[in-house]
Amino acid sequence: MVIDREDMLELTRRMTLKRNCFTRIAGAYIDDEGEVEGTFNVNFLNLKPFEKTKNLELAKTIPFSVTNIQLKRYEIPDKAKGINSMYMLLNALKDCHLKNDALMDVFYEQVADGYPVDYNFAVFLFTGTYDVPTKGNDKNQLGESEEVYDFLICTVSPLTDEGEPDKPDFGFLYPAFINRSSDSDFIDIFHANPDMVEEGLMYKLLEMRTK
């Protein structure tokens, strides 16, 4: 399914200091052997302005990337929606707004297992809420909320020499935002280099059970 660029731009317009849609951010720092070295889980609104700006730029990389080239839409197959599936895990994380650390730990383990690289990297997960305004026939926003879109954005980034996440190599937006509405049957997956697909992480998201 083709991604509508206007849908992605609509989301990024809510990813600024003045119009921030994120409520929480959690993350893990993982070493070159796949071991989690440290985690955090905080209210996004409690971050200092410079921290908000830095993390907004990181999250915005996913929907603001080149649609249908770097960011592509995938349908989640029915066989990947059963008990202990990544599908169920993502929905649970979305529903609890990242406030369950046990679920976060399972998520980090799955990402580390699917991303066996020889360098340290960071996995950040953002949760956001967007009150989608109704649009009239002239496409002008009427201001009334048409739907509440709760979503996750994930970024997977190598660490810089200073131990900070660099630009993401991989990430996703879930559930997909289609025709200005949520669709949990689809996930938008980002590759910084679309010619180098992270097959392990793709398999985790679209096929693999977590146990």
**What confidence score (pLDDT) does residue 174 get?**
98
- Label each residue of the chain as H, E or C: CCCCHHHHHHHHCCCCCCCCCEEEEEEEEECCCCCEEEEEEEEHHHCCHHHHHHHHHHHHCCCCCCECCCEEEEECCHHHCCCCEHHHHHHHHHHCCCCCHHHHHHHHHHHHHHCCCCCCEEEEEEEEEEEEEEECCCCCEEEEEEEEEEEEEEEEEEECCCCCECCCCEEEEECEEECCEEECCEEEEEECCCCCCCHHHHHHHHCCECC
Q: Is residue 201 domain-resident?
A: yes
Q: Is residue 131 domain-resident?
A: yes
Q: Is residue 45 domain-resident?
A: yes
In this model, does residue 42 exceed pLDDT 90? yes
Q: Is residue 101 domain-resident?
A: yes
In this model, does residue 138 exceed pLDDT 60? no
Q: Which residue has the higher pLDDT, 141 or 4?
A: 4
Query: In the structure, what pLDDT confidence band is assigned to residue 53 with cuts at 50, 70 and 90?
Result: very high
The mean pLDDT of 54-82, rounded to a whole number, is: 96
**What confidence score (pLDDT) does residue 139 get?**
54
In this model, does residue 34 exceed pLDDT 90? yes
Q: Is residue 35 domain-resident?
A: no
Question: For the chain, what is the domain count?
Answer: 1
Query: In the structure, what pLDDT confidence band is assigned to residue 1 with cuts at 50, 70 and 90?
Result: confident
Query: In the structure, what pLDDT confidence band is assigned to residue 146 with cuts at 50, 70 and 90?
Result: confident
Q: Is residue 176 domain-resident?
A: yes
- Model-level pTM? 0.93
| Structural domain span for residue 12 | 5-30+40-159+167-182+189-206
